[in-house]
């Protein structure tokens, strides 16, 4: 089949783009052709159609979004402008489906999170009109986020986020979302967890990345504590700062890697906290990207390069739809601190992983465990090997291929 992925963007280090790329890899291995349609596309990614107006940060989308939320009284121009952009996006979607002879579409979170309201409405209308087979991949829903309340578009949210149409199969990434979707909308969904390519051996130190530690200012003997997430409040990075402070070792350096979707106020808050706590915090978002490159005469390293060099990973998120950094730490065999966010408690922790866990606050027990892991190579090796093997069992691309075969690409869909 010709399979079309649709989103606001399919590029960068965000979880939706990364997971879409894994699905695309599996589908190509199964013999299908894959095409992308979004407001931002990755260089070197699958072929497809770039529609800039689809991006959630396009000027018109942002104008609409800022007037749809935070109030129950609509701006006089809100609904006319939604309708106009919706019509433009419907035309773009139909062009994509026609030009690439698409047999099945896989919307990536655009029917879940209403960042791009007209795109969700446009896609709902196209699916309803054409009956095109659809697998709606939901990474998180608007009711899970406080920023969408209050709003003046409840009827639009009910219509398209997500729509309940006969040609759509719904996929969620955790059991909490599955139960909420059924309770709120009466919609059945299957759970397909996030995955990683555990079968391919991880890369190692090579000529390009050998100098990464020095490039970000680490000295020989420093302990590289990696925080591999965006700098936004739900990532709970203040807990990572406190954790490093309580480790009590001046060799520990906390490194923040992501420069995209940056909350500058939150970054300043974290930097001020680190300064007060005498924690060596490095923000290196300008030196880490999705892929290696040379920019302004300096190396920009891939996120994987940071994992290769890291000694320990912190993941103190308050909320995650699943948790890609968990899978990455398993794959690169790095010990990890995890805050027990709800999806972790429900779907991941019970599988037997050996992480250092906290429940919303840094405990002396967690600090002591981490100190032991950092100083005992045998203990560290047992921990990371166990996590790698469990990750391979539950969250591999082969597991995803099985879900797709059994549930999503049945005859007639």
What are the tens digits of pLDDT across the range 85-144?
A: 999 999 999 999 999 999 999 999 999 999 999 999 999 999 999 999 999 999 999 999
Tell me the pLDDT tens digit for each residue of 294-306.
Answer: 999 999 999 999 9
Confidence of residue 212 (pLDDT cuts 50, 70, 90): very high
- What one-character-per-residue DSSP string does 235-262 give? G-HHHHHHHHHHHT-TTEEEEE---SS-
Equal fold, 2-195+397-408 vs 212-393: yes
| Cα 391-334-305 angle, rounded to 5 deg | 105
* Closest by CA position to 135, among listed 101, 169, 173, 96: 169
Please state, as a whole number, how many other Cβ atoms lie within 10 Å of the Cβ of residue 96: 22
Confidence of residue 413 (pLDDT cuts 50, 70, 90): very low
Q: Where are the domains of the chain?
A: 2-195+397-408, 212-393
What is the per-residue pLDDT for 412?
45
Contact yes or no for 100/2 (Cβ under 8 A): yes
- What one-character-per-residue DSSP string does 149-211 give? -SBS-HHHHHHHSS---TTEEEEESSHHHHHHHHHHH----EE----B-TTSPPP---TTTTT
| Cα 31-35-36 angle, rounded to 5 deg | 145
**Secondary structure element (H or E) that encloses residue 92, with its range:** helix 78-99
What is the per-residue pLDDT for 369?
98
Confidence of residue 410 (pLDDT cuts 50, 70, 90): low
Spatial separation of the C-alpha atoms in residues 17 and 261, rounded to whole Å: 14
Please state, rounded to an integer, the average pLDDT across all residues of the chain.
95
What is the per-residue pLDDT for 411?
44
Cβ contacts of 275 within 8 Å, gap of 6 or more: 281
Cβ contacts of 57 within 8 Å, gap of 6 or more: none
Long-range pairs for 336-342 at CB < 8 Å and ≥24 separation?
336/312, 336/387, 337/240, 337/243, 337/312, 337/313, 337/366, 337/370, 339/236, 339/239, 339/315, 341/317, 342/176
- Residue ranges of E strands in 67-163: 104-107, 134-138
Stretch 245-253: mean pLDDT, rounded?
97
| Cα 73-79-84 angle, rounded to 5 deg | 160
Long-range pairs for 55-59 at CB < 8 Å and ≥24 separation?
55/8, 55/9, 55/116, 56/8, 56/9, 56/115, 56/116, 58/116
Confidence of residue 398 (pLDDT cuts 50, 70, 90): very high
Q: pTM for this one?
A: 0.90
Q: Which CATH superfamily is domain 2-195+397-408 in?
A: Glycogen Phosphorylase B; (3.40.50.2000)
Beta bridge partners of 392: none
Stretch 226-242: mean pLDDT, rounded?
96
Enter the tokens of residue 253: 């350096």
* Closest by CA position to 103, among listed 19, 159, 205, 27: 27
Contact yes or no for 358/339 (Cβ under 8 A): yes
Q: Which of 250-264, 288-302, 330-344 has the highest mean pLDDT?
A: 330-344
Enter the tokens of residue 249: 């070792």
**Cis omega (within 30 of 0) on the bond before 162?**
yes
What is the per-residue pLDDT for 364?
97
**Secondary structure element (H or E) that encloses residue 281, with its range:** strand 280-283
- Let me know how long the chain is: 413
- Residues 197-216 as b/e (b if ≥16 CB within 10 A, e otherwise) read bbeeeeeeeeeebeebbebb
DSSP designation for 118? H
Confidence of residue 402 (pLDDT cuts 50, 70, 90): very high
Enter the tokens of residue 182: 């059924």
Stretch 382-386: mean pLDDT, rounded?
98
Distance of CA 132 to the CA centre of its chain: 27
Percent of the chain with pLDDT over 70: 99
Strands in 280-283's sheet, in edge-to-edge order, are: 280-283, 252-256, 223-227, 312-315, 336-339, 356-358
Please give the class, per CATH, of domain 212-393. Answer: alpha beta
Enter the tokens of residue 218: 């680490």
Tell me the pLDDT tens digit for each residue of 130-189.
Answer: 999 999 999 999 999 889 999 999 999 999 999 999 999 999 999 999 999 999 999 999
Tell me the pLDDT tens digit for each residue of 7-64.
Answer: 999 997 788 998 999 999 999 999 999 999 999 998 888 999 999 999 999 999 999 9
């Amino acid at each position: 089949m010709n399979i079309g992925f649709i989103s606001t963007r399919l590029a960068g280090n965000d979880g939706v783009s990364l997971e879409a790329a894994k699905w695309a890899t599996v589908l190509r291995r199964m013999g299908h052709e894959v095409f992308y349609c979004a407001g931002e596309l990755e260089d070197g990614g699958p072929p497809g159609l770039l529609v800039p107006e689809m991006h959630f940060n396009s000027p018109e989308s942002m104008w609409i979004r800022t007037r749809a939320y935070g109030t129950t009284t609509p701006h006089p121009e809100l609904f006319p402008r939604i309708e106009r952009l919706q019509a433009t996006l419907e035309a773009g979607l139909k062009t994509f489906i026609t030009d690439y002879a698409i047999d099945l579409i896989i919307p990536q979170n655009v029917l879940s999170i209403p960042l791009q309201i007209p795109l969700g409405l446009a896609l709902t209308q196209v699916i309803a009109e054409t009956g095109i087979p659809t697998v709606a991949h939901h990474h998180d829903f608007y009711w899970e986020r406080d920023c969408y309340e209050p709003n003046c578009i409840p009827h639009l949210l009910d219509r398209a986020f997500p729509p309940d149409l006969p040609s759509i199969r719904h996929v969620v990434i955790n059991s909490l979302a599955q139960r909420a979707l059924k309770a709120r909308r009466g919609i059945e969904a299957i759970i397909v967890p996030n995955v990683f390519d555990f079968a391919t051996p991880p890369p190692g130190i090579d000529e390009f990345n050998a100098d990464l530690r020095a490039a970000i200012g680490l000295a020989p003997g420093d302990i590289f504590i990696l925080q591999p997430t965006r700098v936004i409040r739900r990532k709970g990075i203040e807990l990572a700062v406190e954790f490093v402070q309580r480790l009590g070792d001046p060799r520990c350096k906390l490194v923040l890697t992501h420069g995209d979707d940056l909350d500058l106020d939150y970054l300043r808050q974290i930097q001020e906290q680190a300064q007060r706590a005498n924690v060596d915090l490095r923000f290196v978002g300008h030196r880490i990207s999705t892929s290696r490159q040379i920019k302004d005469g300096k190396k920009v390293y891939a996120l994987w390069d940071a994992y290769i060099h890291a000694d320990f990973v912190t993941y103190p998120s308050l909320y995650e739809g699943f948790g890609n950094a968990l899978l990455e730490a398993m794959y690169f065999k790095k010990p990890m601190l995890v805050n027990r966010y709800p999806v972790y408690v429900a779907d991941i922790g019970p599988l037997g992983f050996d992480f250092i866990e906290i429940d919303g606050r840094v405990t002396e027990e967690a600090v002591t465990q981490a100190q032991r892991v950092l100083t005992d190579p045998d203990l560290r090796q047992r921990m990371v090997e166990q996590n790698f093997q469990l990750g391979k069992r539950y969250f591999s691309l082969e597991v995803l291929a099985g879900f797709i075969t059994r549930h999503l690409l049945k005859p007639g869909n």
